[in-house]
Amino acid sequence: MRLTGKTILVVGGTSGIGLSAAAVLAGQGARVAVMGLDEPSCQAARQQLGPDVLVLQDDATRPRAAVEAVQATRDRFGRFDGLYHVAGGSGRRLGDGPLHELSEPAIDYTLRLNLTSVLYSNQAAVQDWLRHGQAGAVLNLASVLAFAPAPRHFGTVVYAAAKAAVLGLTRSAAAMYAPHNIRFNALAPGLVDTPSAARALADPATMVYVTGRQALEGGRAARTSDLDGAAVYLLSDEARFVTGQVLAVDGGWSACDGSPPQFGL
């Protein structure tokens, strides 16, 4: 029960990585609130997570959504200790791809979804903690593509740029708010088996590449549960002296080059 006494808001917590984390955070003793975009995912989260978890429906790219979610979390549980921002996604369907082919809608949509929403949630958390004179912990979900690109199979430039900016935000805010005991860290996963990764997961050539790049455990896509332990640690008091760090939970992506497995070593 490493999170007993903590109250944590998961933005993007009604599906995929966020939903898995919310269940584990609650299992570790935290009081949990989650924000999701649409009613079907929110309803499914209510059924899976149970009545003790506060489920909020809103759009993380709306400027006031995070402010209202933080306040609703504090109103329900009496305190607010941690933020895990997971919300984000691909802009490929709108034209995110190689730099020379980008469309204006792809640029605007992908940046708002993957960067602007993070700025809003991180700002809302800090404003709340400063107002209450309280310590806090922010965990942002970035991507290994921010620093270890794979243009042949994952060549979405705006997404990579947005996730790199999340790392810059995390480090800058960590330095700025350390004197207030407000911590900022980030997770950088590789390919994770979620509905939003369906295109990559269904493409045989991409998965051959992933087998060499995420070479741990025989080469596979990450499961959402592979990230949960890192999230618990970075949001807990065990990480009370850790800030400004980026932890790659990537199965080896940032260390391996994508070559086929070598035998007889």
**Torsion of Cα atoms, 199 then 146 then 45 then 21, to 10°:** 120
Give the HSE-up count for residue 131: Cα atoms under 13 Å, Cβ half-sphere: 12
Helices (H) and strands (E) in the chain, counts: 9, 7
Q: What is the pTM of this model?
A: 0.97
pLDDT at 259: 79
Residue 178 has pLDDT above 60, yes or no: yes
**What's the burial of 227, exposed, middle or buried (CB within 10 Å: 0-12/13-18/19+)?**
buried
DSSP assignment of 45-87 equals: HHHHH-TTSEEEE--TTSTTHHHHHHHHHHHHHS---EEEE--
Structure confidence at residue 263 (pLDDT): 56
Rounded average pLDDT over 196-223: 95
Helices 225-235 & 16-27 angle (0-180, nearest 10): 50
Q: How many whole angstroms from its chain centre is CA 189?
A: 9
Tokens of 188: 């950088």
- Whether 219 shows a pLDDT value over 80: the answer reads yes
The active-site residue out of 109, 159, 177, 209 is 159
DSSP 3-state assignment of 89?
Answer: coil
**Tokens encoding 28:** 């570790």
Quote the pLDDT of residue 59. 98
pLDDT for res 262: 66
All domains in the chain, ordered by first residue: 7-192+223-249 (3.40.50.720)
Residue 264 has pLDDT above 60, yes or no: no
Looking at residue 196, what is its pLDDT? 86
Instruction: State residue 253's pLDDT score.
Output: 97
Average pLDDT over residues 34-59: 98
Is pLDDT above 80 for 150? yes
Residue 120 known to be catalytic? no
- State the sign of the Cα–Cα–Cα–Cα dihedral 120, 145, 19, 27: negative
